[in-house]
Amino acid sequence: MTDVQVTKDVIYDTVHQQPTDIYTSEAVTEKSPAIIIIHGGGWFRGDKSKENDLAEILAAKGYFTIVPNYRLAPKDLFPASRDDIESVFTWLKNSAYPFDHSKIAAVGASAGGNLSVELALKFGIPAVSWSGIFDLYDWVSKHPDVVAEPDTKQDATKLASAQIDQDGAHDAFYKWFVLNYVDGNMDQLKEADPIQRVSRHSGPIYFANSLNELVPISGVQKMQAELSAAGIASIAQFIPGSRHGKAYQADVLNNTLDFFTKNLQ
């Protein structure tokens, strides 16, 4: 593999002191596209360091790659994380780094998939979502009998991303971290639903989701219907089993790379 160089903890937001890691290689030139990788963790946990493997793959293939941190709930509720990711996009777009500033895409898993798609909806860039979280207000409203509970069986700080939440649907935990994103405020949860931000200016999106996992496939189905109505191209890949996000990275990586190649030409 091409040698990859990493620059750690470059500050993209001086107000909130938010850092990003930058990955490049000899395959990256001023004509290369850039990709933003957004880590997952239900908007309340996770760190950019967990994306090192994917970042090295993309940089070696000639993409100028950055992996930012962002503010997390419950200390910083929605829309703090979305604001940070929009800030990192604007920072990257206006930076002096040597890449093609007209060609930027995003990829993320779980909460990172949600935030990746938010960039596509606002800025019209291509985005990839692995197990992105999209069914928020409607899902919570239709599951009043589900008691929201945190997942106390797993310490995410000690597990690789691909080992987290691999036991299938977990409605109590899903409801907990969705509500945690807005401190239980249903009006704010309605605003957090990205489906309302789909427009004819949105970018193309590739969705992947396991058929029986932590994140319900209903979110992908609703997003695709809205994108289709707006005339925006999207692809959905539904994977058998219960793996979540990066756990099925090997199964979707080639399709992800093909999507980037096609949409960043």
Assess whether pLDDT exceeds 50 at residue 257: yes
Q: What are the angstrom distances between the C-alpha of 140 and each of 48, 112, 174, 238?
A: 29, 20, 9, 23
pLDDT tens, position by position, 180-198: 999 999 999 999 999 999 9
**Number of domains observed in the structure of the chain:** 1
Confidence band of 152 (pLDDT split at 50, 70, 90): low
Percent of the chain exceeding pLDDT 90 equals 91
Domain that includes residue 99, residue range: 4-263
Count other Cβ atoms within 10 Å, centred on residue 241.
14
CATH code for the domain of 134: 3.40.50.1820
- Quick one: how many helices (H) and strands (E) in the chain? 8, 8
Give whole-number Cα distances, 121 to 64, 97, 204, 226, 263, in Å: 22, 24, 9, 11, 15
CA dist list (Å): 66 to 134, 233, 262: 24, 25, 20
The alpha-helical segments, DSSP class H, found in the chain are 52-60, 80-93, 111-123, 137-141, 171-180, 186-192, 218-229, 249-263
pLDDT at 263 over 90: yes
